[in-house]
Amino acid sequence: MIRFEDVSLRYGAGPEVLRDVTFGIPPGALCWLCGPSGAGKSTLMRMMYLALRPTAGRLSLLGADIGRARRGDLPRLRRRIGVVFQDFRLLPHLSAFDNVALPLRLARRPEGQVRADVGEMLRWVGLARRIDARPPELSGGEQQRVAIARAVITRPSLLLADEPTGNLDDVQAERLLALFTELNRIGTTVVVATHNMALLDRYPARVISIADGRVQMDG
């Protein structure tokens, strides 16, 4: 599913922000990516959702060699990845419904199917009564649920979540992680970046620890 082999990344002529990163995540795995702020978790996540390409080493994702893939092939891969961004990245001028519908419309799904799937998904995340609200009208937790609904609406092969519990209270965080484990149980590979070590105790899974742009621990 995901394979990093001696992957390094630097921005321009600056220092390397990731150095010789090597690990693999098999299909169907649930994996925590943890480490202190600034350790390189978000950079690794950005590589996994194809916002960055490695400057050295080899990254394989969903069966494609990302370093060698043609730029035109990447959108198809991105549509197989669901991402919950740290800052949600919702489109503020669109309703909750249209934000969640976006990946389906980009994949040119029929509008009837879009309406049915998005309606069901918003009911599932408890936002059935807020479908017409725009992100600025929603609370932080509601925005996060819209972001999660958008990430999973296409039933992606790989789900990436960057600090997904940062804006949630304990009850919402529990509910979200229960959702992730449920998605993982039905076959979705899930990678969650967090610096909240308490979560790791409550939801035991493989942990990849990052510090100073290197993998410190994998197990």
Partner 1 sequence: MARRPDPIGLGAAMADRLLPTLAAAVTLLAALALGVAVAASALAERWRNAASEAITVQVPDPAKALPDGRARIDAALALLRDSADVAEATPMQDGRMAELLRPWLGPGGEQLALPLPAVIEVAPAVSDWDSSALAARLGEVVPGTTVETQGRLVTRLRTLARSVQALGIVAVLIATGIAACVVALATRATLAARRDAVEILHLLGAEDRQIASRFARRAALRVAAGALLGTVIGASVLMALGAVAGPVLPMDPGRLAAGLPLLPLATAAIGWITAQSAVRRWLRHLP
- Judged by CB under 8 A, the stretch of 19-27, 96-104, 190-198, 208-216 that binds partner 1 is 96-104
Q: Which is nearer to partner 1, 39 or 114 (CB)?
A: 114
Q: How many residues bind partner 1 (CB under 8 A)?
A: 28
Selected binder of partner 1 within 30, 31, 50, 59 (CB under 8 A): 50
Among 26, 38, 91, 155, binds partner 1 (CB under 8 A): 91
Do the strands 189-194 and 30-34 form a parallel or antiparallel pair, or are they unpaired? parallel
Largest interatomic CA distance in the chain: 50
Q: Decide: is 95 part of the binding site for partner 1 (CB under 8 A).
A: yes
By beta-carbon proximity to partner 1, the closer residue of 105 and 155 is 105
Applying CB under 8 A, which of residues 11, 24, 51, 181 lies at the interface with partner 1?
Answer: 51
The contact pattern for partner 1, residues 59-78, with x = CB under 8 A and - = no contact, is ------------xx-xxxxx
Cα–Cα distance measured from residue 58 to residue 70, given in angstroms and rounded to the nearest whole number = 15
Rounded (to 5) percent helix, strand, coil in the chain: 35, 25, 35
Assess 103 for contact with partner 1 (CB under 8 A).
Answer: yes
Tokens of 44: 């690794």
Residue closer to partner 1, measured from CB, 79 or 206: 79
* Bridge partners (DSSP) listed for residue 81: 158
Could you say which residues in the range 148-167 bind partner 1, by CB under 8 A? 150
9 forms beta bridges with 18
The yes or no reply on residue 89 touching partner 1 (CB under 8 A) is yes
Residue 166 CB, nearest approach to partner 1 (Å): 19
Helix 111-124 crosses helix 96-106 at what angle (to 10 degrees)? 130
Closest CA to 3 of 54, 79, 75: 54
Alpha helix (H) ranges present in 140-196? 140-152, 170-185
Per the DSSP assignment, residues forming a β-bridge with 59 are 4
User: Phi-psi bin for 118: left (phi > 0), alpha (psi -120 to 50), beta?
Assistant: alpha
Q: Residues 105-144 vs partner 1: string with x where CB under 8 A?
A: xxx---x---------------------------------
The binding site for partner 1 (CB under 8 A) comprises 49-53, 71-72, 74-79, 81, 83, 89, 91, 93-95, 98, 102-103, 105-107, 111, 150
